[in-house]
Amino acid sequence: MKRRYSGRVWEDHFLPRLSSAEIQEMPKKDSLVILPIGAVEQHGPHLPVFTDTLLAETVLEESFKHIPSVTNIWVLPPLPYGKSNEHLGRAGTFSLSSSTLQSVIMDIGRSIKESGFRRLLLFNAHGGNSDLLNLTAREVRLETGLMVFRLNVGGLSVEESLLSETERLLGIHGGDYETSLIMAAYPDWITEGEVLCEYPELLKKSKFLRFQKSNFAWTIDDVSSSGILGNAKTASAGKGREIYELHGKQVAEMLIDMMNFEIDSLIDKASAEIRG
């Protein structure tokens, strides 16, 4: 029987594999706890609605290939649901409200603090979660004193040779990027049939508004009739494997950096005293 949680992340770094006594006794000063967060939402006619949660899990899996197994980094059960109300009304979208998602993360943050950990990473693979996670990260920091980090899979850099300029600007949902990754990791989960390409008229209609920076509030029905934003026609499993490899190395470096980070060391106390 194929087990769901196989591979290095789940075998060596999955926190709930341990007993309460083991978690109690482990050194926590230099540890990092990761909460992967995804979504269950429509991703066009070809991708599974579980795409974002799968991406959170698989990008982490890839990154742990570059992390020594003794490293004190622990992964919590992935939170499969996200805030996907921009896709509500399309079948297969199962969304939490902003307040529910925020409450869940606050509760998990409090529990991590109670268990004696000091660092929490919100490892997010759904763009629609990111604004809320930014805000919630600070709330958790203020309430618990934990060091809280955020990492958005969609914000990781991808070489220009892999994705076209248009795709990098507009291909944010079910396009070349996500389709290539799922083709590489879960090819059996892709629905066969017509592969689509759909971009909104954003570049023609506005000089400044984009999905990345100067943003505007949108629902999927405002910007796409098919449910995708991007070009799935140019996707390939080979490209997906290349992106995984790039992401894996990049994320591994970021995780080690976060694990070694001490927020208390950001102020040079000696020079602060002189100024005071």
Residues forming contacts to Zn ion in the complex (CB under 5 A) are 51-52
Amino acid at 216: F
- Least separation in angstroms between CB 48 and Zn ion: 10
Q: Which is nearer to Zn ion, 51 or 58 (CB)?
A: 51
Instruction: Go through 245-266 and write b for each residue having 16 or more CB atoms within 10 A of its CB, e for each that does not.
Output: ebbbebbbebbbebbeeeeeee
Structure tokens at 26: 């482990």
Q: Which is nearer to Zn ion, 93 or 250 (CB)?
A: 93
Structure tokens at 19: 């007993």
- Least separation in angstroms between CB 41 and Zn ion: 7
Q: Which is nearer to Zn ion, 51 or 102 (CB)?
A: 51
- Least separation in angstroms between CB 146 and Zn ion: 27
Q: Which is nearer to Zn ion, 146 or 220 (CB)?
A: 220
Torsion of CA 209, 161, 39, 216, to 10 degrees: 0
Q: Are 61 and 8 in contact (CB under 8 A)?
A: yes
Distance, in Å, from the CA atom of 78 to the CA atom of 55, rounded to the nearest integer, reads 11
**Closest residue (Cβ) to Zn ion?**
52
- Least separation in angstroms between CB 121 and Zn ion: 19
